[in-house]
Chains A and B, each alone.
Chain A
Amino acid sequence: MNYVIIGNSAAAVGCIEGIRSVDKEGGITVISDEPYHVYSRPLISYLLYGKTDEERMKYRPDDFYEKNHVKTILGVRAEKIDSGRKAVVLAGGDSIPFDKLLIATGSRPFVPPMAGLDKVEKKFSFMRLDDAKALGKAITKESRVLIIGAGLIGLKCAEGIRDRVGSLEVVDLADRILPSILDEAGSAMVRKYLESHGIRFYLGDSVAQFGPGSAQLKSGKRLTFDVLVVAVGVRPNTQLAADIGCKVGRGIAIDERSATSLPDIYAAGDCCECFDIAGGCERILAILPNAYLQGETAGVNMAGGSKCFDNAIPMNAIGFFGLHVITAGSYDGDAWVQSSEQTYKKLVTKDNRLKGFILIGDVARAGIYTSLIREKTPLDTIDYELIREKPQLMAFAREDRAVRLGGAKR
Chain B
Amino acid sequence: MSEISCPVCGIYSDADKEICPFCGAQLRLSQDESSMDYLGEEIPDWLKAIKDVDNPISPSSHIEGGESDRQMQQEDQPLYETKFDREDLPPESEYEEIGEIDGFSQGQDRIPLETEPNEVLDDSQLVVPSGVIGPFIQESQERNNSYNEDSDWLHEFEAPSDLEVKDQQTKIPEDSGLVTSSGQFLHDEEEITQPAQELPQGEKLEEDLKWLDDLGVAFAGYHPETGLPVSTGKNLTSEIGDEKGGKSLEETLPQIFSEIETGNEEVEIFGDQVEGKPRLVPADLPSWLKEMRPVEAVAVSSPIAADKELEKIESAGPLAGLKGILPAEPDASQSLKPKTYSVKLHVTDEQKYQSILLADMVKAEGTAIPIPASPTITSQHLMRIGIASLLFLIILSSLITGMPEVGVPAATSDFSDVFRIIESIQPGVPVLLAVDYNPAYSGEMDFPISLVINHLIRHNAYLTFVTSISTGAIQTERLLTLANQELSMPEQYTNLGFIPGGATGLSRFAQAPKQVLPIDIKGKPAWIVPNIQGVQSISDFSLLIVVTENPDIARSWIEQVVPHLAGSPIVMVVSAQAEPLIRPYYYAYPKQIQGFISGLAGGVGYTSLLESGSRYINYWPAYNLSMLFAGLFIAVGGIVNLALAYRARQNRGNVSGK
The answer on A and B forming one complex is no
Binding site for A on B (CB under 8 A): none
